[in-house]
Amino acid sequence: MPKPFQFNASDVKVEMRETVFQGFFRMDKLWLTHPRFDGRDMPVFSRELFIRGDATCVLPYDPGRDEVVLLEQFRLGALGRNQSPWLLELVAGMNEDGESPEEVAQREGQEEAGLSFSRLDKICDYLVSPGGTTEMIHLYCGQISSAEAGGVFGMEHEHEDILSHVVSADECFAMIADGRINNAAAIIAIQWLQLNRERLRREWQA
């Protein structure tokens, strides 16, 4: 049996590329071809690609109080579904040029929740939806004190309106199980916390 990853980026031939939309986000159209697993070449085909920068997301966790901080805000992409478009999410922000994910985490922690992270543990990097967008998420769990957390935050000039909630870890896990939290970054991070909770409580309080 062949092993995975027999092809790489150099095997893709882009015949033409054009920007078809440039606004808050950008959309490109590409005409391309690549080898097939059966040894033939794929006929030239076209795809639209949503060009979006990388982002950093952080699950704030207080190991002493066993609490997390979740942010509630309006999300246009959830409008029109059988649920509220106000979602419970992580601290998150777009990576600016020259910024490390850790720097983004600290900046967004302050802007969105008034939090400083005394420690950041890397969870993973993942592609959001590689069939149609370039975005990569850098995902972390960050150590905080939740004693004074909570309240309304956000950058008004960026049209942010964010309500910060302090939630027990057990309640957070329950919201994953019953679907009240249904966005990918939060699901991945909270499930990671379920697997690593006791280790974090032991190591972060040492």
Q: Which residues are catalytic?
A: 158
DSSP string, the chain: -PPS----GGG-EEEEEEEEEESSSEEEEEEEE-B-TTSSBPPPEEEEEEE---EEEEEEEETTTTEEEEEEEE-GGGTTSSS-SEEEE-EEEEPPTT--HHHHHHHHHHHHHS---SEEEEEEEEES-TTTB--EEEEEEEE---TT--EEE--GGGT--EEEEEEEHHHHHHHHHTTS---HHHHHHHHHHHHHHHHHHHHHT-
**Rg (Cα) of the chain, in Å, rounded?**
20
Determine the Cα–Cα distance for residues 1 and 31; give it in Å rounded to an integer: 31
